[in-house]
């Protein structure tokens, strides 16, 4: 390669890096946790608690949830992929920047421990750890992790300490065929719910609520 040719190749490479970086910056808004806190305390706290730890178990805890997952769910409520009459109204009021802000704030809060629920907790634990081979269901742990903390990069939510009542609500919805859209994650979640019986769902929910040993 002669010198001028090498120069062109270098310039082209630099140009591509610049384009790639600015495209990423345009996609990803940086959340402001202080602005998020203000939004949460004025609008969301009534149901989800001021620090994202709801006390009414029909509303999910959001404290300590991955920011990327909170953003993903708020966008799903906005688009109607995840149907819920309350949350479609709430999410509809939020701009992209508001979403990034509340997600930043909530993800930084500590999940409050849930009371240990002893209802069939051993059955729940065995499903969490080992799945249900006869139903072709992999362990919950294989995606949500040994401590229930999920995986932000893969958009697998944290579930440790979540209210059992909410977990039953979500898994029963999937069991009955109500998907959260048609994307690969929604299909995956639907198949998890459909491979569980109602009794197994209740057992797993009490185990998940009691997964408190971790932050």
Binding site for ligand HEC (CB under 6 A): 39, 43-44, 46-48, 59-60, 62, 70, 73-74, 82, 84, 86-87, 90, 94, 102, 127, 138, 140, 142-144, 155-157, 159, 167, 169-171, 180, 185-186, 188-189, 192, 196, 204
Q: Closest CB to ligand HEC among 149 and 159?
A: 159
Shortest distance, position 77 Cβ to ligand HEC, whole Å: 7
Shortest distance, position 102 Cβ to ligand HEC, whole Å: 4
Residue 132 β-bridge partners: 137
Q: What are phi and psi of 119, to 5 degrees?
A: -60, 110
User: Which residue has tokens 């999920």?
Assistant: 150
Shortest distance, position 205 Cβ to ligand HEC, whole Å: 8
Shortest distance, position 214 Cβ to ligand HEC, whole Å: 16
Shortest distance, position 131 Cβ to ligand HEC, whole Å: 7
Shortest distance, position 116 Cβ to ligand HEC, whole Å: 17
Q: How far is 71 from 95, CA to CA, in rounded Å?
A: 11
How much helix, strand and coil, in percent to the nearest 5, is found in the chain? 60, 0, 40
Paired tokens of 30 = 């940086």
Q: Are 55 and 117 in contact (CB under 8 A)?
A: no
Q: Closest CB to ligand HEC among 22 and 79?
A: 79
Q: Closest CB to ligand HEC among 118 and 197?
A: 197
C-alpha dist (Å) from residue 132 to 103, 135, 163, 195 = 34, 6, 23, 8
Task: Write b or e for each residue in 31-65: b if 16 or more Cβ atoms lie within 10 A of its Cβ, otherwise e.
Answer: bbbebbbebbeeebeebbbebbbbeebebbbbbbb
Q: Closest CB to ligand HEC among 8 and 59?
A: 59
Q: Closest CB to ligand HEC among 32 and 169?
A: 169
Q: Closest CB to ligand HEC among 21 and 42?
A: 42
The secondary structure of residue 213, as a DSSP letter, is S
């Amino acid at each position: 390669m002669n010198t001028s040719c090498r120069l062109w190749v270098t310039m082209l490479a630099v140009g591509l890096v610049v384009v790639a970086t600015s495209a990423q910056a345009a996609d990803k808004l940086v959340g402001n946790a202080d602005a998020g806190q203000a939004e949460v305390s004025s609008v969301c706290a009534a149901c989800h608690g001021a620090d994202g730890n709801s006390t009414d178990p029909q509303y999910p805890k959001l404290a300590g949830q991955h920011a990327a997952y909170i953003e993903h769910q708020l966008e799903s409520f906005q688009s109607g992929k995840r149907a819920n009459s309350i949350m479609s109204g709430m999410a509809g009021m939020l701009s992209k920047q508001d979403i990034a802000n509340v997600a930043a704030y909530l993800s930084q809060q500590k999940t409050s421990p849930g009371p240990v629920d002893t209802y069939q907790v051993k059955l729940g634990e065995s499903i969490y750890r080992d799945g249900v081979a006869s139903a072709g269901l992999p362990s919950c742990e294989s995606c949500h992790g040994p401590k229930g903390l999920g995986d932000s990069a893969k958009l697998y939510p944290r579930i440790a300490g979540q209210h059992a009542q909410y977990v039953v609500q979500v898994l029963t919805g999937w069991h009955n065929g109500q998907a959260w859209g048609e994307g690969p994650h929604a299909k995956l979640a639907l198949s998890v719910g459909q491979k569980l019986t109602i009794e197994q769902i209740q057992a797993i929910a009490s185990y998940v609520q009691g997964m408190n040993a971790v932050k």
